[in-house]
Amino acid sequence: MKKLKQLKRNYEEIDIPTELEDVVHASIRQAKRKKRPMIQYWMLSVAAAASLFIGSINLSPQMAQAMMNIPVLGSIVEVLTVHRITVTEDDYHADLNVPEIQGLKNEELQSALNEQYLEENKALFQQFKHEMAEIKAQGSGHFGVNTIYEVKTDTPQIFSIARYEILTSASSSTTLKYDTIDKEREVLITLPSLFKDDRYIEVISSYIAKEMKRQMDLDQTTSYFLNEDFTDDFKQIKPDQNFYITANHKLVISFDQYEVAPGYMGVVKFEIPSELLTDLLVNDFYIH
């Protein structure tokens, strides 16, 4: 487990290109349409693996409110696996599926996200090779990585994609990252952009803590990090906590494996009642 935590820390320390932030802020303007280059498909079959850790891109509540009044039509968005990295070598294996978003009219936003998916994956690939070499040098051990993606929501308005990263060593660890796109206005939605101010952190955290306790009272096999002697108790969500928006306009908060519960609980999610958020939201365009 120590190896998994160290590898994850190494992943998170990889710098995200500053150019991406500039591109996404520019995405609130109508991007110029241009011819798409042909996609180059490739496969690497080597002793390595990687995971995706994508930084959130902020959209201010003021800008979000202003954009609600713009009449637009949604895009037909799809996701394809255009890059795949595989390896099967003794005790080391990997199957990484790198997604590419297609169909956004805002090609600058689309290209920026897709380039980041690929470039981060390449950097993580090199990091994993180094880590695997160290494990081999110790004389024994095994390591595996599997990355997959899933479209969580696809409506005329909202597109949410989840990316799973599963690391396997002496134990396993699963993390998720979500991207939620307003298909009509061609922008990436972040958790802070949904709310007027940061009061949402306390309100959502309080509800989740109560729900954790309720679930544990109902089922003795359910366990969360609340009032534990040997772990960090859950106190509140991060301002940019993982989330997605469902097809029926509900906010779902997601936690990685081990983040707020023992490993056997896996990835845990909580749907937040919309009535708790009504007075906090910039508007009811996405959540109601």
- Asked if residue 2 has pLDDT above 70, the reply is no
Stated pTM of the model: 0.73
- Condensed to tens digits (0 to 9), the pLDDT of residues 44-69 reads 333 232 223 233 334 444 544 444 44
Percent of all residues in the chain with a pLDDT value above 90, rounded to a whole number: 43
The domain spans of the chain are: 2-191, 194-276
283 vs 126, higher pLDDT: 283
Calpha distance 54→73 (Å, rounded): 27
* Helices (H), ranges, the chain: 2-12, 18-26, 61-67, 107-137, 199-218
- Which of the four pLDDT bands, split at 50, 70 and 90, describes residue 230? low
pLDDT score of 3: 53
* Band of residue 199 on the pLDDT scale cut at 50, 70, 90: very high
Average pLDDT along the chain: 77
From the list 50, 68, 74, 58, the residue with the least C-alpha distance to 25 is 58
pLDDT band at 9 (very low <50, low <70, confident <90, very high): low
pLDDT band at 19 (very low <50, low <70, confident <90, very high): very low
Domain 2-191 and domain 194-276 have a common topology:
no
Q: What percent of the chain has pLDDT over 70?
A: 73
Q: Indicate the pLDDT class of residue 229, thresholds 50, 70 and 90.
A: low
Bridge partners of 272, per DSSP, are 251
Asked if 119 and 159 touch (Cβ cutoff 8 Å), the reply is no
Residue 31: alpha-carbon gap to chain centroid: 25
User: Is 13 or 106 the better-scoring residue by pLDDT?
Assistant: 106
Using the predicted structure, report yes or no on whether residue 271 has a pLDDT greater than 90: yes
Say which CATH topology domain 2-191 has: Heat Shock Protein 90 (3.30.565)
Which CATH number, 3.30.470.10, 1.10.1740.10, 3.90.640.20, 3.90.1200.10, labels domain 194-276?
A: 3.90.640.20
How confident is the model at residue 90, as a pLDDT? 82
Which CA distances in Å does 254 have to 14, 85, 172, 174, 230? 23, 27, 18, 12, 23
pLDDT band with cut points at 50, 70 and 90 for residue 153? very high
Range with the poorest average pLDDT among 121-130, 154-163, 197-206 = 121-130
Please give the angle made by the CA atoms of 107, 112 and 116, to the nearest 5 degrees: 150
pLDDT at 93: 84
